[in-house]
Amino acid sequence: MSRRSGQTGTVVKKGKMWYGRYREDVPGQDQRRNLCVPLGPIKTMTKAEAKRKLRSILEKDGINAADYLERVNQDVRTFAQEAKWWRENRLSLCKPSTQDKMNSHLDKYLLPRFGMLPVSVIDERLVQRFVAELSRTEYKTGKGTVKVLSPSTIPNIITVLKLIVGEKTWRDWNLRLPEIPYSEQRYFTMEETVRIISAAKGQYAAETLQWRTLFAALAGTGLRCGEVFGLHLADLDLNSGKIYVRRSIYQQREVSVKTKKGNRVVHIEAVLVEMLRQHLGGRTSGRVFQTRNGTPFSKDNVRRKLHSILEELGLKRGGLHAFRHGRVSFLKKKGVADKMIHDWIGHSTLRMADLYTHFEDADRQQVANDLGALKGVTSLVPPVIAPNAPKSGELAANNDAA
């Protein structure tokens, strides 16, 4: 943008008022905008006085100063510039999984919409319109199908936007985001878990044993799938029945565990200890679970294996995280102390266990019956008569006839 020459503005008469016209630079844009401000009534102000007032307005705003344009633009940064800085200095310090998700939101949705805009013009109304468009726009997937974004995805996209523009910009926003419908997370009951483990098969005996031990480890520890894939033989103490969780696997790479509480010791039962012993055989090093080439398992491959087993068994589809939800639910049902569950599962907070706890209808009904809160009023409840049972009078007549 080239340096602007000075301006005196123009005084015009509109009705019974003097108005001053002048041009003002817009941050981040080459073209200036035209402004028109009221100066005073014609009845009490001469045109010369109106010109002097307009000149004072221009001087007050510093519009004719030599450094005006520099001052206008020194704090003007586009969203793309802020995003670049944020990627290099903040996002780069996050875990790889977080980087991948946020980079995807940034490249696919945010930069095409806000990239060339100055951050200063991104306000609540602009973002609210963006939210509305996201909620009704159809997007093509890699498989060629078209779908609308999930209501849970849109808040994640807006979170990335907020992280880039900063709290000073968005702290007073009152955005209306799509309502996320409630649906209970899929979890595997212990009965389903036993069926899944028993149905797991490979091309040969050792492979079958590895699949069954892998699913048993997911169900019997509550570890995240990446944590199970990242286990080395050095992380096992089978004599004491302990597993030391020290790392995770993300896209075939070893990374740190998800949270600080993720570094933990998990105690396992004797059945899983014996399964691990049989699976490992005489091996003394390497990964606990690995491909034929010695590489870690892929989440996608294991998930496909699980889905094929569920389809074969006629069970509702669920992901690998359903083992983790099932483990927490089982521990809660058995009355295990919350602190112990927290230590084994590795959640960042104690309250997270509540989100992972599920109860079957049969469990709820059993608890309701066992409470027996109303057993003191059973005498007031009329006896239950079978549908085809004879009434009392009919019963007496039948006895007489006999």
Collect all residues with Cβ–Cβ distance below 8 Å to 63 and sequence separation of at least 6.
7, 22, 24
The dihedral built from the CA positions of residue 339, 343, 349 and 352, taken in this order, carries a sign that is negative
Tell me the helix, strand and coil percentages in the chain, rounded to 5: 50, 10, 35
Tell me how far CA of residue 107 lies from CA of 83, 115, 251, 267, in angstroms. Answer: 10, 10, 20, 43
Over residues 265-299, the pLDDT tens digits come to 999 999 999 999 999 998 988 999 999 888 999 99
Q: Note the pLDDT of residue 1.
A: 43
Residue 181, φ and ψ in degrees, nearest 5: -65, 140
Round to whole Å and give the CA distance between 227 and 250.
Answer: 9
How many CB atoms are closer than 10 A to CB 330?
A: 20
CA atoms within 13 A on the CB side of 250: 13
Distance CA 301, CA 297 (A): 7
Distance of alpha carbon 151 from alpha carbon 181, whole angstroms: 8
Distance separating alpha carbons of residues 371 and 318, to the nearest angstrom = 33
Q: Render pLDDT for 176-202 as a digit per residue (tens, 0 to 9).
A: 999 888 778 899 999 999 999 999 999
pLDDT value at position 223? 95
Residue 364 has a pLDDT of: 76
Q: Where are the alpha helices (DSSP H) in 106-152?
A: 111-114, 124-136
Count Cβ neighbours within 10 Å for each residue of 243-281 and write b for 16 or more, e otherwise: bebbbbbbeeeeeebbeebbebebebeeebbebbeebbe
Write down the pLDDT at residue 311: 97
Residues of the chain with pLDDT under 50: 1-3, 69, 72, 402
